[in-house]
Structure 1
């Protein structure tokens, strides 16, 4: 018997329930993972509210990342075997006992990382690397503005950018979260509730601006983000409000700057495979050296996913909220 977190209609966290479901099976190029733990992401909250475009092929349960042990491999799978300890980027389905996932979206768990920690790696690592490294071209010596120091994306992005030698400026909604950003490696942390982040960013860069911006706020920040860009800078928008907003195209052109807006979940399987391969090559080794770590705020039993969603929606967490399905602290 297997179970999963399901909901029948959009709503508050209370719509989430742990229910019995049919077992999943691997198609030729898939593996089935017995889920030890799953990460909670903002996209899960939006999907629960009915505000997220879910790909037609996505499994019904929530959950875009998990850790666990492979229990079945498809007939064409060559990279993995039953018993392998892995984490995976999912199209959905992580809030469950089992999930089927393409073999190219599976990663080994870095040495010394528990199942609980590993569940918080795939979504943030793939999002940060694909946007800042592969799209914005962030490298050593560049300066990056990372919004949302207290979130799962922010806590990882600050560490990764610092680890590759970039200078990090970050924003947060409280002094405590700003201090957390500094502790993770940011050189400048701005409480956007008490400071103008545009003025503070320009001051921190002697008026030049930043080479890259990772934005999770969306429309409200678009004009101000453009003001923060340095010549040839790149803004990547990965979430937030999508309401129509005026863009100063003249300012953008005068800076030779560019803007990308991306969603990871809907990318074709080939693109996800390339991203995961790059993360395995360039990001996972940083865990072994201690240059980056998974910041886990709270661990909640998977059957209590509603409580986990409430925690994330409270905006009081720093780092990831993880659903434990028997993963344990040591995995």
Structure 2
């Protein structure tokens, strides 16, 4: 099969179209003929050599796909054969065929265009787990999200609004702030022109937000904590600004703040299956009914995976970047 491969870690040009063996589904898995694959920040970090695939996972990039199930592993109900799905994968999405546990698949049928479907799983699973499970966000609360026009950011905006949150985001330009507001954000703060801590304080009448979804870490953490209301929750999902933060523990204690975070890819298949089941019951109908649609940036052919990575690294994208693997 054709796949986007890299021999050694490096810049985007390390990615090139090549040939790989078609993977065979193991017990509990399905084989998907990939129509589209989503491009995510962890793909870029893995290509750079900083985020190796977990043991047993495909070395091929790609954590989400959409397409048709064409083969079943042992123990998988035959009703899955031929179904059109999108799926969270352990890797291997940048290829014509990809295997993944059947319990990590969400049914698509003809309800969604497949490019849109491929743009959903990684951000949906990440936001659901971190905002609603770890962050315990509840209707009527306020959520602050950094990177409001990223794939994670746009998903957090739309899910947050669908479940009754007041959503604050930060963005790096006036254009991106306008886009975030068009996607549903209640407040978009240009962090290049204003101090987001002061803006949050002003916009909330000094009360702060209840949850911060942080992808920056580093020196942002102390500033994020100043944005939190009493009993607020700070959830870190990436460390783009650095892995270390200096904290005032007395401040955390006095305001009863909770600091947590997670990484999704290393979690067990069993955990991801439970997460998928909860999402299918509570959030997935919003996508099938068209109430929530992923924000799409640009689609690249699989052969141009390097260009897709360069676009993500440049940071100018708004929404999700996807790869077209199989036309039609």
Coarse TM-score class (shorter-chain normalised): over 0.9
Structure 1 equivalent of residue 86 of structure 2: 87
**What residue number does 2:285 align with?**
285
In structure 2, what is the Cα distance between the partners aligned to 1:234 and 1:274? 23
Distance in 2 between the 1:111 and 1:137 partners? 33
Q: What residue number does 1:324 align with?
A: 324
Kept in 1, the 8 Å contact 2:236–2:262? The answer is yes
- TM-superposed CA distance for 1:24, in Å, is 1.0
Does the CA contact (< 8 Å) of 1:80 and 1:103 recur in 2?
no
2:3–2:18 Cα contact (<8 Å) kept? yes
| CA offsets 1:225-266 (integer angstroms, 9 cap, x no match) | 111111111111001234322111111111111011210001
Query: What do residues 10-51 of structure 1 show as CA deviations (whole Å, max 9, x unaligned)?
Result: 111100011111111111111000010000000000111111
Q: Name the counterpart of 1:255.
A: 255
Partner Cα distance (1:61, 1:288) in 2: 29
> Where does the alignment leave 5 or more consecutive residues of structure 1 unmatched?
none
Deviates more, 1:90-99 or 1:72-81: 72-81
The equivalent residue for 1:106 is 105
Structure 1 residues 110 and 213, CA gap change in structure 2 (3 angstroms): farther
The 5 Å alignment of 1:127-206 reads 127-206=126-205
| 2:219–2:246 CA contact under 8 A, matched in 1 | no
Say whether 1:240 aligns with 2:239: yes
Contact 2:217 2:239 in 1 (8 A): yes
Cα distance in structure 2, aligned partners of 1:45 and 1:212: 27
Checking the alignment, whether the CA contact within 8 Å between 1:111 and 1:288 is kept in structure 2 is no
Q: Distance in 1 between matches of 2:78 and 2:106?
A: 10
Q: Corresponding residue for 1:295?
A: 295
Q: Match for residue 216 of structure 1?
A: 215
CA shift for structure 1 position 144: 0.4
Q: Which runs of 5+ in 2 are unaligned?
A: none
Q: Secondary structure at the residue paired with 1:50?
A: coil
CA–CA separation in structure 1 for the residues paired with 2:7 and 2:319: 29
Counterpart residue number, 1:121: 120
C-alpha deviation, 1:326, in angstroms: 2.2
Contact 1:238 1:263 in 2 (8 A): yes
Deviations 1:114-153 (A, max 9, x none): 1100000100100000011111111210000011111000
User: Distance in 1 between the 2:289 and 2:23 partners?
Assistant: 36
Shift of residue 80, structure 1, vs aligned partner: 4.8
8 Å Cα contact 1:5-1:95 kept in structure 2: yes
- Aligned equivalents of 1:31, 1:288: Cα separation in 2: 22
Whether the 8 Å CA contact 2:96–2:326 is kept in 1: the answer is no
CA distance in 1, matches of 2:291, 2:253: 37
What is the DSSP-based 3-state SS (H/G/I as helix, E as strand, rest coil) of the residue aligned with 1:240? coil
Q: How does 1:44-59 map to 2 (within 5 A)?
A: 44-59=43-58
Distance 1:123 1:11 in 2: 23
Return the alpha-carbon distance in structure 2 between the equivalents of residues 26 and 43 of structure 1: 24
Q: 3-state SS of the aligned residue for 2:188?
A: strand
Shift of 1:194: 0.5
RMSD: 1.3
Q: Aligned residue for 1:31?
A: 30
Q: Distance in 2 between matches of 1:81 and 1:110?
A: 11
Q: Which residue of 2 aligns with 1:231?
A: 230
Contact 1:68 1:327 (C-alpha < 8 Å) held by counterparts: no
Matched pairs, number = 327
